Amino acid sequence: MRKRGQNGLWVIWKVAAVVSFFIYLLIALVRIYYYYYYSDDSDDDVNNNVDLLQQVNPRVVAFMFLVRRDLPLDFLWHTFFLQNGDAANYSIYIHSEPGFVFDETSTRSTFFYGRQLTNSIKVAWGQSTMIEAERLLLRAALQNPANQRFILLSDSCVPLYNFSYIYNYLMGSSKSFVDSFLDMKEGRYNPRMSSVIPMRKWRKGSQWIALIRSHAKVVAYDDIVFPVFKKL
């Protein structure tokens, strides 16, 4: 009986070893496949590789461009993404005027091909439509669970640091970055907001922000503050 039990344990050990070997082999083959298939950083392949790579990497920065029409500084952003931007670490979303398409006829950078939202709206400066456009960008970016940082940019924004610096800085912090301050001379507060936004909580700041995922959800799906601006 003891010998038979020992033989049984030996068989179980051999089966476990074989299973472990094949699991290790499978992981190795997957890593080799991704290294081989996505190691080409040429412009022609960059857009084909981005979406699948984001499924592998759970720490992606979403660059969200809110633009009037095209991106006049696309050549600067092209260099920014091309030099040391790993396609697994970023995603790109663009809100432009309805019907505008980013392709070889409208942008000099292949990074922006087909990145425009299909549900964009007509935006007017200083109106609630600008907020709604930002929310559309956030909602689109939130659909990808890999996106963990969300940067809102205009068509006049330019990168002051390289991709690696920005990526590591954002991922190294658990905070959102929002420009907000009390301006005693600010005259845009409307008393009709008081029931939801009391004057003591009114702040001035820039709309160009970098949010963590939980804060991005608050802005994208808020149904308390945004309706107040929409009614004004």
CATH number at residue 92: 3.90.550
- In the DSSP assignment, the letter for residue 146 is T
pLDDT 10s digits, 152-178: 999 999 999 999 999 999 999 999 999
Residues 137 and 150 in one domain: yes
Q: How far apart, in Å, are the Cα atoms of 118 and each of 48, 98, 102, 145, 169?
A: 19, 8, 11, 20, 31
Residues 34 and 48 in one domain: no
Residues 52 and 166 in one domain: yes
Residues 96 and 209 in one domain: yes
Residues 16 and 128 in one domain: no
Q: How many percent of the chain have pLDDT more than 70? A: 75
CA distance 136 to 138: 5
pLDDT 10s digits, 74-122: 999 999 999 989 999 999 999 999 999 999 999 999 999 999 999 999 9
Residues 55 and 112 in one domain: yes
Task: Give yes or no for residue 213 having a pLDDT over 50.
Answer: yes
> Residue 26: what pLDDT?
45
Residues 221 and 109 in one domain: yes
Assess contact for 130 and 137: CB atoms under 8 A: no
Residues 67 and 174 in one domain: yes
Assess contact for 228 and 157: CB atoms under 8 A: no
What would the two tokens of residue 211 be?
A: 């949010």
Residues 11 and 76 in one domain: no
Range of the domain at 9: 1-39
Residues 12 and 71 in one domain: no
Task: Please give the tally of structural domains in the chain.
Answer: 2
Residues 83 and 121 in one domain: yes
Residues 1 and 100 in one domain: no
Q: How far apart, in Å, are the Cα atoms of 141 and each of 14, 136, 202?
A: 47, 9, 28
